[in-house]
Structure 1
Amino acid sequence: MRVVLYIRVSTEEQANEGYSIRAQKNQLIDYCRVNGYEIVKICIDDGYSAKNTKRPRLQEVLTLAQNKEIDAVVVYKLDRFTRSVKDLYELLEDLQSNGVGFISRQEKFDTTTAMGRAMIGILGVFAQFERELIAERVRLGMEQKVKEGKRPGGKYPFGYTSTGLLIGEEANYIKMVRSLYMSGMSYQAIAAQMFNEGIVRRNGEWTATNVALTLENPFYAGIIRFGSKMANGKYPQRKREERVDVIEVIGSHEAIWTVEEFKEHILRMRRRSNGGNSRKAIYWFNGVLRCGRCGASMYGRSTTKRSRVDGKELLGTFYWCAKRKENKSCNQPMFRQKHVEHLIKEHIKNIRVEMDQVKEYQTEIDERESEKKKEVAKLKRELEKVKSRIKKWQYAFAEDLIDENDLRLRMDEEHIAEQGINNKLELVTGVSVQTPDQLFQLIDLWDDMNDIEKQQVIGVMFDRIVLITEEENVKGVKNAYFPATVKVSFR
């Protein structure tokens, strides 16, 4: 039977001889020798946790299974493979769908038998149960710390040192934020003023988002809170429909606001949040638009006004730069959705004209495509050589021709080479002179689509649409399109 040996050791376990790479390797080689298994490959994930399946050599094992190159996967112990019952069943299902078995030497489980499958499932359930018990004990410990007026863990917020001492200058900024808010300023206007005055946080600029989060933080009022409530006042629910209790106590740290001040501005925030427009606009280009001035994402926003003709409420849809939205640090003007639509249509029409011209140079295009194919084939050959060398280093380690340090050094070198070749492949294969026919059909069908269909097709066809303009103040003629262009990349 052809088998692959899968070995995993986390950073914390590397010093533990019972879990070391060499200990697992020796045990598994002896086990395969006794049972007459042919070792096709040894896959080692060095320094990876079992918290998820995003491990490079584990993915390589699954690829071997998909390619029918092995009959079984052999591990030293079940927790070397995974610690999650959900991941366990998904991995076993993946292996079994390709006719590949799973063997754990320590627990003596073999999924080629019904008993082995049942026992692995039972063990996985108990492993998950144990993790939940540990999590519950941790939560109880954190709750007890809160009840004693201590912070349950994590970093202290802006305004405090890593040991919980107040930083005078930062505390003054936080008081300033509250003062500006109580004077009637919006989150965005506060962020803009802080930006204009050169006042920054430790990790970056003030934004509308962190202004709101600062005002909402009870820690600044001397309150330590553990747990959270939903906006409607109800407690959120976990997967098991458990209620999450919220604990609030007066902490031992120095406060920046009084509790009364905190309650005062929180009440104002709630009153403001109850206003606003309840109509929901559908933004066709959300997720793909980028600002051509600062590179930030652009998001949709809507405005309403009354028609002078019949008094009906009109909904306007715009896109604005995230940097402008957060603190006005970018002066890219807002684009109406109709303007973006117009720019995309014009861009596609120009592509169609260019493609008609390109057809006149088909021989040159064919030659370029041929060169590209040759380059791809060359890179793929280099990639196979790297994979072959990786296999040789693993065999050399298995036969004690190199030690563990040599193996790690060689594997690091090969993985760097492998990544470099993959980057080149991505670059070469990403260059194409062809444009899909669906792009031209988009223009023909666009006006017949509804809002949802437009949003979906934009998300499927476009990877990024960059809006470029030199304009800053575009107030002027109604419904006019100001000078702008787009730079487009397709999926």
Structure 2
Amino acid sequence: MLRYVIYTRVSTEDQGKSGLGLEAQERDIGIFLDRFSAVPYEIIGRFQDVDSGSNNGRPELTKALALVRKTGAELLIAKLDRLSRKVSFIATLMEDKRVKLRVASMPHANKFELHVYAALAEQERTFISERTKAALRVAKERGAKLGGLRDATMKRNTAIQAKANTEAAKVMKLIAPMKEAGASLGHIARTLDEMGIATSRGGKWTPMQVSRVIDRSRP
């Protein structure tokens, strides 16, 4: 019988308590088991970490991998970045003949394809980081003040950010299921308008505003 060890991860303690990130992972895993897995199958273990994907020393992941190596079961995760954001760590696991990996969101992907996907994702994160640094350098060269704000201004900005984060967290409960289902930003914006959900400024939704809410809610 095919056996699975399920592993899930969220990045912060708050996500772990709210279950928002975990619900999406459990849903994807459920879809895989219902529609893509060979049958019969057995789930012999479930493990969950609340930690960063850049930390490879997660205790529950260590336990999950130990069980996989001991039993020959497949390690089942919702998305590849739930396992790790480091391509070197993923590559090492794929070279381990005792570890069988299955990604629910890419049910037919083999080890080679998963390795390529991990490498591309890491390149994209590196590029985004470098692009941000470059933009800051240009702003500084043009005379923009990147620091030194007065205390009152800092406090006001902190309050604005806190309010925006709270509102983003609320609306993400509606956006997340649509995004996970593959809906476009434009479709999500139209749906929010049809539901009578206003933006933080009381206006209509645009794809860019939906994207900003998603970015603000990321770990």
Q: Same fold (TM over 0.5)?
A: yes
Q: Does 1:65 align with 2:65?
A: no
Cross-structure match for 1:38: 42
Q: Where do residues 223-234 of structure 1 align in structure 2 (5 Å cutoff)? A: none
Equivalent AA in structure 1 for residue 114 of structure 2: I
The answer to whether the 8 Å contact 2:94/2:111 transfers is: no
**How far did residue 57 of structure 1 move?**
1.1
Cα–Cα, structure 1 residues 125 and 51, in superposed 2: closer, same or farther, change >3 Å?
same
Mapped to 2, the partners of 1:105 and 1:38 lie a distance apart of 16
SS of residue matched to 2:56: coil
Cα–Cα, structure 1 residues 22 and 7, in superposed 2: closer, same or farther, change >3 Å?
same
Q: Say which of 84, 88, 92 aligns to 2:94.
A: 92
Q: Where do residues 402-421 of structure 1 align in structure 2 (5 Å cutoff)? A: none
Mapped to 1, the partners of 2:101 and 2:45 lie a distance apart of 15
Mapped to 1, the partners of 2:19 and 2:121 lie a distance apart of 20
Mapped to 2, the partners of 1:13 and 1:78 lie a distance apart of 21
**How far did residue 163 of structure 1 move?**
3.9
Residues matched between the structures, number: 146
The answer to whether the 8 Å contact 2:76/2:102 transfers is: yes
Q: CA offsets, 1:60-102, max 9 Å, x none?
A: 1222234x134210011111112222221022223x2x2x310
**How far did residue 29 of structure 1 move?**
4.1
Cross-structure match for 1:385: none
Q: Where do residues 300-311 of structure 1 align in structure 2 (5 Å cutoff)? A: none
Cross-structure match for 1:132: 126
Q: CA offsets, 1:188-223, max 9 Å, x none?
A: xxxxxxxxxxxxxxxxxxxxxxxxxxxxxxxxxxxx
Q: CA offsets, 1:282-313, max 9 Å, x none?
A: xxxxxxxxxxxxxxxxxxxxxxxxxxxxxxxx
Mapped to 1, the partners of 2:108 and 2:81 lie a distance apart of 13
Structure 2 unaligned blocks of 5 or more: 152-219
The answer to whether the 8 Å contact 1:2/1:39 transfers is: yes
Equivalent AA in structure 1 for residue 106 of structure 2: E
Mapped to 2, the partners of 1:4 and 1:76 lie a distance apart of 12
**How far did residue 140 of structure 1 move?**
0.8
Cα–Cα, structure 1 residues 37 and 151, in superposed 2: closer, same or farther, change >3 Å?
farther
Structure with the larger helix share: 2
Relative contact order, higher structure (CA 8 A, sep 6+): 2
Mapped to 1, the partners of 2:146 and 2:92 lie a distance apart of 35
Cross-structure match for 2:135: 141
Q: Where do residues 214-253 of structure 1 align in structure 2 (5 Å cutoff)? A: none
Cross-structure match for 1:51: 54
Equivalent AA in structure 1 for residue 9 of structure 2: R
Equivalent AA in structure 2 for residue 44 of structure 1: Q
The answer to whether the 8 Å contact 2:32/2:104 transfers is: yes
The answer to whether the 8 Å contact 1:5/1:73 transfers is: yes
Q: CA offsets, 1:326-379, max 9 Å, x none?
A: xxxxxxxxxxxxxxxxxxxxxxxxxxxxxxxxxxxxxxxxxxxxxxxxxxxxxx
SS of residue matched to 2:64: helix
Cross-structure match for 2:106: 107
**How far did residue 9 of structure 1 move?**
1.5
Cross-structure match for 1:353: none
Mapped to 2, the partners of 1:5 and 1:87 lie a distance apart of 18
Q: Where do residues 418-437 of structure 1 align in structure 2 (5 Å cutoff)? A: none
Mapped to 1, the partners of 2:122 and 2:19 lie a distance apart of 23
Equivalent AA in structure 2 for residue 137 of structure 1: R
Q: Does 1:5 align with 2:12?
A: no
Cα–Cα, structure 1 residues 57 and 18, in superposed 2: closer, same or farther, change >3 Å?
closer
Cross-structure match for 1:196: none
Mapped to 2, the partners of 1:21 and 1:13 lie a distance apart of 11
Equivalent AA in structure 1 for residue 132 of structure 2: V
The answer to whether the 8 Å contact 2:6/2:77 transfers is: yes
Mapped to 2, the partners of 1:119 and 1:50 lie a distance apart of 20
The answer to whether the 8 Å contact 2:45/2:64 transfers is: no
Equivalent AA in structure 2 for residue 107 of structure 1: M
TM-score (ref. length: structure 2): 0.56
The answer to whether the 8 Å contact 1:85/1:125 transfers is: yes
Mapped to 2, the partners of 1:70 and 1:19 lie a distance apart of 31
TM-score (ref. length: structure 1): 0.27
Mapped to 1, the partners of 2:116 and 2:72 lie a distance apart of 26
**How far did residue 45 of structure 1 move?**
1.1
Cross-structure match for 1:399: none
**How far did residue 23 of structure 1 move?**
3.2
The answer to whether the 8 Å contact 1:5/1:39 transfers is: yes
Q: Where do residues 165-176 of structure 1 align in structure 2 (5 Å cutoff)? A: none
Mapped to 1, the partners of 2:141 and 2:14 lie a distance apart of 35
Cα–Cα, structure 1 residues 74 and 19, in superposed 2: closer, same or farther, change >3 Å?
farther
Equivalent AA in structure 2 for residue 127 of structure 1: A
Cα–Cα, structure 1 residues 103 and 19, in superposed 2: closer, same or farther, change >3 Å?
farther
Q: Where do residues 158-197 of structure 1 align in structure 2 (5 Å cutoff)? A: 163=149
Structure 1 unaligned blocks of 5 or more: 111-115, 154-161, 166-491
The answer to whether the 8 Å contact 2:5/2:45 transfers is: yes
Q: Percent identity?
A: 29
The answer to whether the 8 Å contact 2:10/2:49 transfers is: yes
